A and B are shown apart, each in its own frame.
Chain A
Amino acid sequence: MESLGIIAGFWLLAGVTIGASLAVFAVRNLLHAVVFLILAFVGMAGLFITLSADFLAVAQLLIYAGAISVLLVFAVMLTPLANRDNSNSLYVLPGGAFALAFATIIAFVAIEVDWHQLRGDALGARSFSTTVAEVGSALLGPHVLAFEIASVLLLAALVGAIVLVHEDETGEAA
């Protein structure tokens, strides 16, 4: 992990991600903020790749940049009375407090936990096998309950969406 490429890649991606996240609340227009948020998602996917988490990176692209971003743009578009100029409001105060608390927790975890850090030869000896098979076995093994609950939740969401959109049949269906 000490090679120049990884270091340069990490700093570039981290810079892009953090810059895009800062731009999310700094720009004037809400849709521009959404576009910068999508850039932050893509930066996150890049950071996952530097950590050899190939499945997570591609899943991040697929789910966040591919689907959730479309959802966000729809949400912004379909609320016509909302304030679309991303201006400051009183929400800044509780938002700032929450962000400060969150940052404290993350910093504490990052500094105080005893991470298993591998360097040099130990790092070279470790084999980074494909993560897809391992994630799959974990989902169907130790975490199968979460997997099943997630699928039931998705089914409930799908049925709920159909119920919300369904109209009473008053005439011939087109």
Chain B
Amino acid sequence: MRLRLPFDTQIDAPSRFPTGIRQVIARPPIPGLKLAFIVLNVIGLGLNVAIGFVVASGALDDEWYDFRDLGLAVGQLREGLDDRFDPAVSYVVTMLIGGVGILSLIGVILILLPWVERRLLARFQVRRGPNRVGPFGLLQPLADAFKLMQKETVVPRGADRFIYFLPPVLVFIPLMLVWGVVPWAPNMTYVDTNVGVLYLIAVGSLSTLAIFLAGWSSNNHYALLGAMRTVAMMISYEIPLSISLLAVVLLARSMQLSEIVAWQADHHAWFAFLMPFGLFTFFFSSTAELNRTPNDIAEAESEIVAGFHTEYSGMKAGLYLAVELGHAVATGAFVSTLFLGGWSMFGLEQWVPPYVILGVKIGLIYFVLVWLRSTLPRFRLDQLMAFAWKFLIPLSIIYVLVVAVEASIFARWDVPGLIPLAAYAVFNTALAWVLVRRWSGLMGYHPGSEPLRPVMATGVGGLRAARQLRGEA
């Protein structure tokens, strides 16, 4: 039985391969490719084993060439510069390194992400997604960018020009700023402020203003309506966001993001297990802040034209779309950092570079965001606001109260850390379950008594009217 390797040039390759790979398989044979493939793989394996031995022997710890933590190299560079030059020089150099790093990260994300999102959405919707523009459609985001750049930006007559040109720029600023506080490795945080969590909330609230100015300056009733609805939604969801972050800060006893990740690494407990309702609140409120489905009533693509960015065309609209995409990844970074342990993975971080682990987690959260986008229908604005004010905020406040008591017990009780934390995990999960069921019952939603067959809710009043129509009480 002959081994079929993927580079064998059989034209009759099995048709379960998609078109692209079939074409790759069916190309004419290149001499020596098989041998080169095997040799390269053996070399790679040998390299991995060698790196594993070096890491295990501890020769890499705390040296500047420790590739697992690039902050060590930067720290040594900074000390070297401090010895020789004015302290301002080391400050400027590290500022440039970090700034260029973040900007290139955002650039790479904005080039790759539209492709990932559209292919993934297509996969969920049983179709293919862009596959024409380059190999596997990889140049699609560039094509989109070029298209938007060469479009004429039509400025509406009567638009306030100063305020009209400002919001696309203004909305990009929080996107760049929030990437500064993400801890990539134990020593690798660009701006390691003591108030990292508060910084997140503050910088995130700047985009509200940009959206409002965009809607107002467009001289368009519908843009203004869309902007007002968006602002109402965003400021409503900032409250459960902040309260769930407060629960995290109470248990970690610090607002510094690297401290929060270090807490999760030291105690081998992620906040996602300790406070699952906090994770849900933060995640859902973030989708509302991002204006992403299921909360994208702001720029609902089929409903209110395009909401606050109706009158923006060309690269201005492109900036809004880019910011939404970039912010989704930034949200993934924060959910991973605050609730999923950041760069820590129960000990894996001494073998695999921590920033790779964080990158994988960010990708997972982004996958969940696209999954939600492709499967859930959109919530109405009044449903969204009711959910925020009547459901998330009271439950978050109760949750914070409970977590505050738990945190004070944890600070005073001298027991090996995992026992109270396991108890907290179990108790918080049970509490979340009970609270959600009881509170939604109070709000009028009884899942046990709802019919399993779908009922057309034709009247205003939704399910209540439908029940009356059917003749039930």
B-contacting residues of A (Cβ < 8 Å)? 3-5, 29, 31-32, 35, 38, 54-55, 58-59, 61-62, 65-67, 69-70, 73, 77, 130-132, 172, 174
Bound Cα distance A55, B255 (Å): 10
Q: Does B203 contact A (CB under 8 A)?
A: yes
In this complex, what residue of B is CB-closest to A6?
B88
Q: Would A70 and B209 be within 8 Å (CB), given that A58-B199, A77-B216, A132-B255 are in contact?
A: yes
Flag if A132 contacts B91 (CB, 8 Å). no
Q: Does B472 contact A (CB under 8 A)?
A: no
5 contacts between A and B (CB under 8 A): A3-B88, A4-B88, A31-B160, A58-B199, A62-B201
Flag if A132 contacts B195 (CB, 8 Å). yes
Q: Does B235 contact A (CB under 8 A)?
A: yes
Please tell me which one of the listed residues A4, A55, A69 contacts residue B86 in the complex, with CB atoms under 8 A apart: A4
Flag if A172 contacts B460 (CB, 8 Å). yes
In this complex, what residue of A is CB-closest to B201?
A62
Across-interface contacts of B460 in A (CB, < 8 A): 172, 174
Q: Would A70 and B231 be within 8 Å (CB), given that A3-B87, A5-B91, A58-B202 are in contact?
A: yes
The distance from the CB of A56 to the nearest CB of chain B, in whole angstroms, is 10
Please tell me which one of the listed residues A54, A66, A73 contacts residue B195 in the complex, with CB atoms under 8 A apart: A54
Contact with A along B85-121 (1 / 0, CB 8 A): 0111001100000000000000000000000000000
Bound Cα distance A131, B231 (Å): 31
Across-interface contacts of A3 in B (CB, < 8 A): 86-88
Q: Does B193 contact A (CB under 8 A)?
A: yes
Flag if A32 contacts B163 (CB, 8 Å). yes
Q: Would A32 and B162 be within 8 Å (CB), given that A4-B86, A67-B235 are in contact?
A: yes
The 5 lowest CB-CB distance pairs between A and B, nearest first, are A66-B205, A62-B202, A130-B194, A61-B202, A58-B198
A-contacting residues of B (Cβ < 8 Å)? 86-88, 91-92, 160, 162-163, 166, 193-195, 198-199, 201-203, 205-206, 208-209, 212-213, 216, 231, 235, 255, 382, 460-461
Across-interface contacts of B162 in A (CB, < 8 A): 29, 32, 35
Bound Cα distance A147, B307 (Å): 40
Across-interface contacts of B209 in A (CB, < 8 A): 38, 65-66, 69-70, 73
Bound Cα distance A66, B231 (Å): 11
Q: Would A73 and B202 be within 8 Å (CB), given that A58-B195, A172-B460 are in contact?
A: no
The distance from the CB of A27 to the nearest CB of chain B, in whole angstroms, is 9
With A35-B166, A58-B193 known, 8 other A-B pairs at CB within 8 A are: A3-B86, A5-B87, A29-B162, A31-B216, A70-B208, A70-B231, A77-B216, A130-B195
Flag if B461 contacts A172 (CB, 8 Å). yes
Flag if B235 contacts A70 (CB, 8 Å). yes
Across-interface contacts of B86 in A (CB, < 8 A): 3-4
Bound Cα distance A35, B209 (Å): 10
Bound Cα distance A38, B170 (Å): 12
Q: Would A66 and B206 be within 8 Å (CB), given that A5-B91, A55-B195, A58-B199 are in contact?
A: yes
Flag if A35 contacts B235 (CB, 8 Å). no
In this complex, what residue of B is CB-closest to A71?
B235
The distance from the CB of B297 to the nearest CB of chain A, in whole angstroms, is 15
Across-interface contacts of B205 in A (CB, < 8 A): 61-62, 65-67
Please tell me which one of the listed residues B163, B166, B206 contacts residue A61 in the complex, with CB atoms under 8 A apart: B206
Bound Cα distance A67, B88 (Å): 35
The distance from the CB of B461 to the nearest CB of chain A, in whole angstroms, is 6
The distance from the CB of B321 to the nearest CB of chain A, in whole angstroms, is 23
Q: Would A132 and B216 be within 8 Å (CB), given that A4-B86, A66-B206, A67-B205 are in contact?
A: no
The distance from the CB of A71 to the nearest CB of chain B, in whole angstroms, is 10
Bound Cα distance A65, B174 (Å): 12
Across-interface contacts of B160 in A (CB, < 8 A): 29, 31-32
Bound Cα distance A62, B213 (Å): 18
Across-interface contacts of B212 in A (CB, < 8 A): 70, 73
Among B86, B202, B382: residue with most chain A CB under 10 A: B202
The distance from the CB of B243 to the nearest CB of chain A, in whole angstroms, is 14
In this complex, what residue of B is CB-closest to A49?
B193
The distance from the CB of A98 to the nearest CB of chain B, in whole angstroms, is 28
Across-interface contacts of A55 in B (CB, < 8 A): 194-195, 198
Across-interface contacts of A130 in B (CB, < 8 A): 194-195
Bound Cα distance A5, B209 (Å): 30
Bound Cα distance A131, B199 (Å): 14
Across-interface contacts of A132 in B (CB, < 8 A): 194-195, 198, 255
Across-interface contacts of A54 in B (CB, < 8 A): 193-195
Bound Cα distance A54, B256 (Å): 12
Across-interface contacts of A59 in B (CB, < 8 A): 198, 202
The distance from the CB of B305 to the nearest CB of chain A, in whole angstroms, is 21
Across-interface contacts of A38 in B (CB, < 8 A): 209
Among A3, A58, A59: residue with most chain B CB under 10 A: A58
Across-interface contacts of A61 in B (CB, < 8 A): 202-203, 205-206
Flag if B198 contacts A35 (CB, 8 Å). no
Across-interface contacts of B195 in A (CB, < 8 A): 54-55, 58, 130, 132
Across-interface contacts of B198 in A (CB, < 8 A): 55, 58-59, 62, 132
Across-interface contacts of B193 in A (CB, < 8 A): 54, 58
Bound Cα distance A77, B215 (Å): 12
The distance from the CB of B256 to the nearest CB of chain A, in whole angstroms, is 8
Bound Cα distance A29, B162 (Å): 10
Bound Cα distance A55, B231 (Å): 25
